[in-house]
Structure formats: C-alpha cells, structure tokens
Amino acid sequence: MEITKDTILSQINEARKGNQSAYNFLLNTYWNEVYNFQLKRTKDEYDAEEITIQTFSKAFDKLNTYKEAYKFSTWLITISKNIHIDILRKRASSIRSQITKKDEDRVYKVPDEGPTPEDALIKKQNLAELLRFIKLLKPHYQEMINLRYFQEMSYKEMEEELGEPMSNVKVKLLRARRLLADIIQKAKQ
C-alpha cells in the first residue's frame, strides 16, 4: 500500500476516534524515522528506543493537538527532540522532580480494544517454538511479552511492576508484539 498524505491523515483521524489498528499503523510507519533520528542524537540504542517510546506515548496522548498543516513526521520529530532536551536538562540538573500522586495516576488514553492479530498468533503458536522466537527479542521486549502473556498481568499491573507510565507500557508492548510477529512471519516464509 502506498502511503500518501491522505492515508496518513485518514489514519490520524481513525486514531483520534480510538481505532487501535490506526495507532499500530502510525507506530509502524514512523517508528524507524523517529528511532534513527534519536540514535544519531544520543548515539545509544537504549536511550534512542526509550525516547522513541516516550515520543509515541506523548504523540498519541496529544493527537488532537496535531495540525494538518504540518507533516506528521515533522510533528513527531519535534516532540522527540523536545523529550531529548528535557532528559538532558534533568540529567544536568540532577534534581529529581517531585511527582504528585495526580501525575502518577494520570493514564494516557491509548485504547486497547481486545485481542489483535498478533495476540491470536501468540496464543496459537506451539509454546516451545514461541519461546524460541521470544528469545530473539531484546531483553526488555521479552519482559513485556512475559508479563502480559505468560504472567497475564493487566496494563495497570505492568505499570506498577515496571515503574513506568501506562503510555510507555502500552507502546512498548505494541512494539514487542510487532517485532515478535515480524520474527514469526520471517520464520514461516
């Protein structure tokens, strides 16, 4: 499928309505661009990945503020750059910001509308084969799959276990499922 400006705007509008597949489309379409941008800035794969996850979390939370006059990729890169600058400032000041209970309880509204095709694939796979595929993921993605599908934790439980905002948990799980599905698909070819 050719990705045109109209396709992107259509997916953005669907995501604004809470369509999970539209969020997946946007994440998969722009992940590499944002990740590579941050990799050049940070020169660290882990930092680049964490900032990219935060970028999509924030973008999905603030999707209603996106103005169609600008390219979506430019908007994402701007968010990503600002997140990186904030992280650098926090590291430089070395003063931990005080997080209120209200901030901790705030949940970014990235909807989860039930099982996705990746979920169905995960459940249908032979367990031994599936574990072999999971071991091909980076450790933190392995942990996401383990917590969600083997320990059957809710997003809230995962948030508490990992000590991360709900939006980060959701984006990391989306990414882990996508990478796992790609690995499985390549193996089946």
pLDDT at 89: 83
pLDDT by residue (tens digit) across 27-73? 999 999 999 999 999 998 989 999 999 999 999 999 999 998 889 99
Find where tokens 């905002």 sit.
Answer: 165
Domain positions in the chain are 5-93, 114-188
Using a 10 angstrom Cβ sphere, with 0-12 exposed, 13-18 middle and 19 or more buried, the burial of residue 185 is exposed
Whether the predicted pLDDT of 104 surpasses 70: no
> CB of 121 within 8 A of CB of 181?
yes
Residue 90's pLDDT band (boundaries 50, 70, 90)?
Answer: confident
What does pTM read for this prediction?
Answer: 0.60
Architecture label for domain 114-188:
Orthogonal Bundle (1.10)
At residue 153, what is the residue type?
Answer: M
pLDDT at 56: 92
DSSP element (H, E) containing 174: helix 166-188
At residue 146, what is the residue type?
Answer: N
Rounded to whole angstroms, what are the CA distances from 82 to 87, 92, 125, 156? 9, 15, 41, 27
Find where tokens 């590291």 sit.
Answer: 91
Which of 69-83, 92-106, 113-127 shows the lowest per-residue confidence on average (mean pLDDT)? 92-106
pLDDT by residue (tens digit) across 155-175? 889 999 999 888 888 888 889
Which of 33-37, 75-79, 128-132, 134-138 shows the lowest per-residue confidence on average (mean pLDDT)? 128-132
SS3 83: helix
DSSP element (H, E) containing 170: helix 166-188
Q: What does CATH list as the number for 5-93?
A: 1.10.1740.10
Whether the predicted pLDDT of 108 surpasses 90: no
Rounded to whole angstroms, what are the CA distances from 26 to 18, 72, 101, 128, 173? 13, 10, 31, 32, 15
